[in-house]
Structure 1
Amino acid sequence: MAVEFLGFLPILLAVGLAVVQLGIAAYTVQQAGTAARAAARTATADDPEASPESAGQAAISGWLADGARISVSGGTEAHATATIEIPSIIPGVDFGDARRSATMRRPESADPPAPGDE
């Protein structure tokens, strides 16, 4: 009985590691989407002091923020792309990057309409 268990143990460990790695990858993709939306939202704000890249970094978990790259381009719409390296629990294996984008329209005017201008 013990010999059968020892033969099956590596398979159980491999399946367990695969499930944990899949969870980490899914969480990283979700965090990339959060960072992209936060950066795009900040880019559409009228605050010239606010940095969209910093807002995107602040919106995600600290252990993922170190490897995050966020780029923002603009025009009439703010387009932000967040790229985060997927951490690996398996030594020597690279799972690539998680990349998500978000686009938000810039408001035409931040000033409220004057009375009678409606």
Structure 2
Amino acid sequence: MGHDIYGLNKAREEIAYARFSMGNHNALLLYRLLDAYQFYAGVSGTGKSSIFSLQQVEKAMRGYIKFFKTGDSPSESDCTSWDQKQIFNFIQSCLATAYKEKSVEVYFG
């Protein structure tokens, strides 16, 4: 069991991935940043997905910046842990896709 969270573009191609073991509390941080607690099922995600608008993903990045106290333009080199790095990369990849396509789908497995 664990949290396998995928970002998908409109063609349903994987553009982002984050993996957390079932006991890793950092999974909750990604759910929180995405305002997606309804997809949290304890030891894993619910197996459902949702479409996130560009504005929602931008809000997640602003939350990341505030939580980790990074500058306005965070980068992978700012990351101090593996989980911080995968959360950053996940949101950054979703944001890049949302800029192009105006939204991104996120699957919570």
TM tier, shorter chain?
A: under 0.3
TM-score (norm 2): 0.25
- The TM-score, its normalising length taken from structure 1, stands at 0.24
Greater strand share, structure number: 2
Q: Which has the larger radius of gyration?
A: 1
